[in-house]
Structure 1
């Protein structure tokens, strides 16, 4: 992982970062292995920095010798240090070894130019690692979620072959589509033939409203809940059958059963206490609700 000719990177690492550390070892003339004293110094640093993270290693030489020779010697010095720390210390995934050769000679003392520098971050500063390295987090501009537009009306064919036009309740569809998990929403004006689970023709548009919401919100999962009025006991399980009627309609319109469930509660969850005082209270208790299971 050698990166040649990276003086600017070296300057960046050594001069502009606030909490970055440097450790330097020096080599004898024309050597790429450390002498015993410098090797002890390196081993001691390794033991003291088990929790630090290495960013890069740079190597340099003095200006004695040819440019090509010094480049090669610099690379060997870097590789030698790398072989000593690999597997012992944490190293960044984008870690670089940087060979500067004699271009890294910044001192009038040749002995000070024959070196390798380990750039690293202490454990206490790792939480600021990207800030220390000057890495700007890419801020993704949130794209606005396009508003779902529902049609104003729907024309459909009745079982007897006639056609009906139904003005859709766009506010209801929007409310269901934007509801949060756990919310319950009543389907207004959904009426059934008395004592049956058959939806009256005038209410069939309510089924299509629910269908449109599910089609335009593919992650939406719901439970259809049926409720009765008047009778303390739902002997015919009519509340369940009415909820199931909506469930079957949606299945037949290719809504996945994984997104649907149904349940009947009889008169066990009235809005108004039984017996109701008037038709208004009975109509409120006699209802179908949608429970938002998952968005």
Structure 2
């Protein structure tokens, strides 16, 4: 558990936001020993932080019951942390979401168990005028394949998305075609497409307004994947993953330009 504490401290020290979760037994809001260890580690952080707490559950019971259960879980975590945290940590909000924003489809017991959780969103407390603006990643479209390393992350410049949708802006179309060309010319390349969102800090991920699902970062990555598959790239060469709002390139988002920058998909090289 000490390793978790130091990993978390380093992560919060460099990023604007992150998330961690604790899990519950079926129909329970009692915190288990493993979750207490994780919450104890959170309470020991000495960086100036804000915590937002969101309770969730699987769809086993009626809607009203599930909502109450998720509230009980969120409040239990809130009370536990409230008695331990120091003054540098602010507990901003506590919300029970019921089953409405599940991250899994609950088709198996393993997936249902992952929906029985409380998410804690951890945000750095910014000073007035303070802003994070990360250096641009190297472009996947112009970097020599010989210079790429497996597991490196690359940008797809100018590929940004309409707010709340998995539709990329028109200026991104030529770049997507360049990505397609590179994959066709290098048939051994395997990539992971990682989607990102802006603005929605009340949830891990945003709502896709077209599909009415809460996995917008995934649907953005998957939209590019589907385009590539339709144009002849084999499905075993591409995976799609959603990273929600936890890795912004500009934060806080003060302008529309900041928001557009964060509505993006990046490429991780899996195999070359």
TM-score of the superposition, structure 2-length normalised?
0.42
